[in-house]
């Protein structure tokens, strides 16, 4: 069987038929007799095109606004109609049309920095502002008279450098003025920071010189400082000694952050100069011999914020105030920052800032108070775990038999440890009601003050129509009576021992009536709270609040 090959001849479609819009840009003058009707719309034939263009009034380049251009260029027909769909190369910035999109026209200020001799005859009228071409630039610069570097004021420099045209048009400035490149004698380290440059290490920077870097460089380099310790230095053992300090740090950190020699500033260690062993040998003697993982006091500065272990062997003196501790030996261990210790922080156990059981805990120091530690309400904390001077508020417990009533009580209350252990320590607040009146009586007798106890007035009644009484009444010429009340805990909070909530409300009402009665009759009323639970506290309070009085004329006791 015979096979026939069928050839399909494509239909010819002209440019004029397929793309009438592009046919309008056909350059009839330069294409001779050739017409858009004569060429296929996908032809690879290169022909001339023309694009008349009126620059709009809001064009970014003011000098071009309102101008007319007839752009002409050669391009293959298929490149304009195919996938690339190339438009006018001058409007798109792909080619240069002098007077329209060249550097000289678009950015004349930048064009003035075009190097006059180093671009091989290429002119700023021959390149677009978006060109990636790297060219030479030139900027004559007169240093102003108020320049930050005095030695440069009034000088002139002819800066030269290479950069892409597009980068410069997008704002890239002279690299020497912005510190991105080095111009020796203008922005190098030796010129801008001669004091810092003088500390450049002479041998350790692989031949790099301070004239070859800027002050803002992030490069890490070696520095050198020859230092003679002054004769009035605070560490006597160092006076008159010489040191050759060496260290590494970036140039910008030294310039921008004003970083000085790290050994003189104490931020780094130079053994034999600023290490703890040298600066504070007495403190270094307390360095823990085993718990610092091999770190030595010669490897840290005295101002280090590092937390380390310390060790202090301590022999309790024979005249120590706690007899049971006299002659005993302790090996105290603790952690603390080096800087804090160098600034005067001492052993926390000797200063009672921390607990060392068997030395400064409550059970050891004041065993009688420790016996009243509540067995269940302190969340597992024991009196062996707190110092006697602690300001912590804890629970206390006292088993008490009231011989007057024959009743038994298990008193519980909260109080700060320090308030119970100082010279004016507080006792059980429920028992102070009895002792308080005793203290007042003792004070008045000691000061030869006449007084009445349980003073009643015929017109002062309580809630049950029974007469109320004041604990003490002192006859006085000015006030007629100075009344003293010692108020126990039942006056301030609900307490089962004193009758619970009902009794508390009744007590508050009685207290209110007593206050108002004293005020109405001009009597002075002094109320002492149960927290004043020692004679010394009561005496101090009365010294302050009990006025000087004339007791010669004693009024008759009220009914």
Per-residue pLDDT tens over the stretch 144-188? 999 999 999 999 999 999 999 999 999 999 999 998 999 999 999
Statement: residue 43 has pLDDT above 80: yes
State mean pLDDT over 342-370. 96
Confidence of residue 553 (pLDDT cuts 50, 70, 90): very low
Contact 55, 67 (CB under 8 A): yes
DSSP code of 556? P
What is the per-residue pLDDT for 422? 82
What is the per-residue pLDDT for 17? 94
Statement: residue 88 has pLDDT above 80: yes
Confidence of residue 551 (pLDDT cuts 50, 70, 90): very low
Domain with CATH 3.40.960.10 in the chain: 432-545
List CB contacts of 175: < 8 A, sequence separation 6 or more. 161, 163, 181
Measured at the CA of 542, the angle between CA 413 and CA 460, to 5 degrees, comes to 80
What is the per-residue pLDDT for 497? 67
The whole-angstrom distance between residue 397's C-alpha and the CA centroid of its chain comes to 45
Backbone angles phi, psi at 331, to 5 degrees: -110, 90
Statement: residue 57 has pLDDT above 90: yes
Q: How far is CA 226 from CA 131, 191, 229, 265, 272, in A?
A: 53, 21, 10, 15, 15
Over the chain, what is the mean pLDDT?
A: 92
Statement: residue 143 has pLDDT above 70: yes
Nearest CA to 72 out of 43, 35, 97, 39 is that of: 97
Q: Which CATH architecture has domain 432-545?
A: 3-Layer(aba) Sandwich (3.40)
Per the listing, tokens 């308030």 go with 419
Contact 387, 416 (CB under 8 A): no
Confidence of residue 279 (pLDDT cuts 50, 70, 90): very high
Let me know if 131 is exposed, middle or buried by CB neighbors in 10 A (0-12, 13-18, 19+).
middle
Q: What percent of the chain has pLDDT over 90?
A: 83
Contact 50, 76 (CB under 8 A): no
State mean pLDDT over 520-544. 93
Q: What is the pLDDT of residues 181-224, one digit of tens each?
A: 999 999 999 999 999 999 999 999 999 999 999 998 999 999 99
Per the listing, tokens 């709009």 go with 56
Q: How far apart are CA 514 and CA 148, in angstroms?
A: 81
Tokens representing residue 374 in the block: 């509540």
pTM (whole model) above 0.75: no
């Amino acid at each position: 069987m015979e096979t026939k090959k069928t050839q399909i001849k494509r239909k010819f479609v002209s440019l004029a038929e397929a793309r009438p819009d592009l046919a309008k840009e056909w350059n009839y003058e330069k294409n001779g007799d050739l017409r858009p009707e004569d060429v296929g719309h996908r032809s690879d034939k290169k022909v001339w095109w023309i694009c008349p263009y009126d620059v709009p009034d809001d064009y970014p380049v003011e000098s071009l606004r309102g101008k007319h251009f007839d752009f002409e260029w050669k391009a293959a027909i298929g490149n304009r109609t195919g996938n690339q769909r190339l438009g006018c190369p001058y409007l798109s910035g792909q080619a240069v049309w002098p007077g329209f999109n060249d550097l000289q026209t678009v950015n004349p200020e930048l064009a003035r920095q075009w190097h006059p001799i180093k671009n091989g005859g290429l002119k700023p009228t021959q390149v677009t502002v978006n060109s990636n071409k790297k060219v030479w630039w030139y900027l004559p610069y007169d240093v102003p008279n108020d320049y930050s570097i005095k030695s440069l004021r009034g000088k002139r420099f002819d800066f030269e450098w290479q950069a892409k045209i597009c980068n410069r048009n997008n704002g890239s400035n002279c690299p020497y003025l912005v510190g991105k490149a080095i111009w020796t004698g203008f922005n190098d380290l030796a010129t801008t920071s001669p004091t810092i440059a003088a500390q450049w290490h002479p041998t350790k920077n692989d031949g790099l010189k301070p004239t070859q870097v800027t002050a803002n460089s992030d490069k890490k380099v070696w520095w050198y400082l020859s230092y003679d310790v002054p004769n009035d230095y605070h560490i006597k053992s160092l006076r008159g000694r010489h040191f050759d300090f060496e260290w590494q740090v970036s140039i910008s950190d030294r310039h921008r952050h004003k970083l000085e020699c790290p050994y003189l500033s104490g931020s780094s260690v130079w053994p034999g100069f600023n290490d703890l062993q040298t600066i504070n040998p007495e403190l270094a003697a307390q360095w823990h011999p085993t718990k610092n993982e091999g770190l030595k006091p010669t490897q840290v500065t005295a101002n280090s914020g590092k937390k380390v272990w310390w060790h202090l062997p301590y022999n309790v003196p024979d005249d120590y105030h706690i007899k049971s501790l006299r002659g005993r030996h302790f090996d105290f261990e603790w952690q603390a920052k080096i800087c804090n210790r160098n600034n005067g922080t001492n052993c926390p156990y000797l200063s009672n800032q921390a607990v060392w059981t068997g030395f400064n805990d409550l059970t050891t120091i004041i065993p009688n108070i420790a016996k009243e530690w509540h067995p269940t309400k302190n969340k597992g904390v024991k009196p062996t775990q707190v110092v006697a001077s602690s300001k912590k508020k804890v629970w206390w417990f006292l088993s008490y038999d009231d011989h007057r009533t024959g009743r038994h009580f298990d008193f519980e209350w909260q109080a700060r440890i320090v308030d119970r252990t100082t010279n004016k320590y507080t006792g059980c607040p429920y028992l102070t009601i009895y002792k308080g009146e005793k203290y007042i009586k003792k004070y008045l007798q000691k000061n030869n003050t006449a007084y009445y106890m349980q003073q009643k007035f015929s017109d002062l009644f309580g809630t049950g129509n029974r007469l109320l009484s004041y604990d003490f009444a002192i006859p006085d010429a000015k006030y007629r009576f100075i009344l003293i009340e010692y108020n126990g805990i039942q006056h301030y909070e609900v307490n089962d021992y004193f009758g619970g909530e009902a009794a508390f409300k009744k007590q508050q009402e009685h207290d209110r009536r007593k206050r108002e009665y004293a005020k109405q009759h001009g009597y002075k009323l002094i109320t002492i709270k149960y927290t004043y639970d020692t004679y010394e506290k009561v005496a101090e309070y009365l010294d302050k609040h009990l006025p000087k009085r004339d007791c010669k004329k004693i009024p008759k006791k009220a009914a």
